[in-house]
Amino acid sequence: MADNVKPRVKAPRKASAGETVTIKTLISHPMESGQRKDADGNTIPRSIINRFTCEFGGEMVIDVTMEPAISTNPYFEFQAVIPDAGDMKFTWYDDDGSVYEETKSIALA
């Protein structure tokens, strides 16, 4: 697991049923591309988050396949429909097998 990985999510606490809301996510991660070399000229091995998903109540909102061209501290902004009160689950999958999770509860307004 990369050091100091910290997910941040911006989601509304409340929404009305059927409302479309904007979600922003950011996670601290170096996203080592596998293209860089260290001071001795050796290639630094690739180590990235390769997938990000957002689900609400078990149904998929967005599923992103990520390549090394995604910047350090990956950022996503997208929209979700909130059918009812429930939990929004965010998951990031690291090359090294680590999984980072965050959950936000959204109530009905």
Partner 1 sequence: MKRTALITALFGASAITVGAAWAEPVEDTLIINEETELTTWTDAPAAVEGALPEVISGWHFRGTETRAMQADDFDNPGMIFVEQAMDAWNTVEGEAGKSCASCHGDAEDSMKGVRAVYPKWNEDAGEVRTLEMQVNACRTENMKAEPLKYTGTDMTSMLALISSVSRGMPVNVATDGPVAETWQQGKELYYTRTGQLELSCANCHEDNYGRMIRADHLSQGQINGFPVYRLKNTKLNAVHARFKGCVRDTRAETFSPGSPEFVALELYVASRGNGLSVEGPSVRN
Partner 2 sequence: MTMTRRSVMVMGAGAFVAFGLPMRASAAGEDAIAEFTGGADMGGEGLTLTAPEIAENGNTVPIEVDAPGAEAILVVAMGNPTPGVAEFKFGPLAGSNSASTRIRLAGTQDVVAIAKMKDGSFVKASSNVKVTIGGCGG
**Alpha carbons within 13 A on the beta-carbon side of 56:** 19
Read off the amino acid at residue 89. Answer: K
Report which of 97, 75, 99, 94 is spatially closest to residue 32, judged by C-alpha positions. Answer: 94
Largest CA distance in the chain: 57
Q: Of the ranges 37-45, 54-62, 65-73, 101-109, which one interacts with partner 1 (CB under 8 A)?
A: 65-73
The answer to whether 73 contacts partner 1 (rule: CB under 8 A) is yes
The answer to whether 36 contacts partner 1 (rule: CB under 8 A) is no
Both tokens of residue 4? 């100091």
Report the residue from 1, 8, 44, 107 that binds partner 1 according to the rule CB under 8 A: 8
Per CB under 8 A, residues contacting partner 2 are 20-22, 33-35, 55-56, 59-72, 74-83
CB of 50 to partner 2, least distance (A): 10
Both tokens of residue 72? 């350090």
| Site residues, partner 1 (CB under 8 A) | 4, 6, 8, 10, 24, 26, 28, 71-73, 75
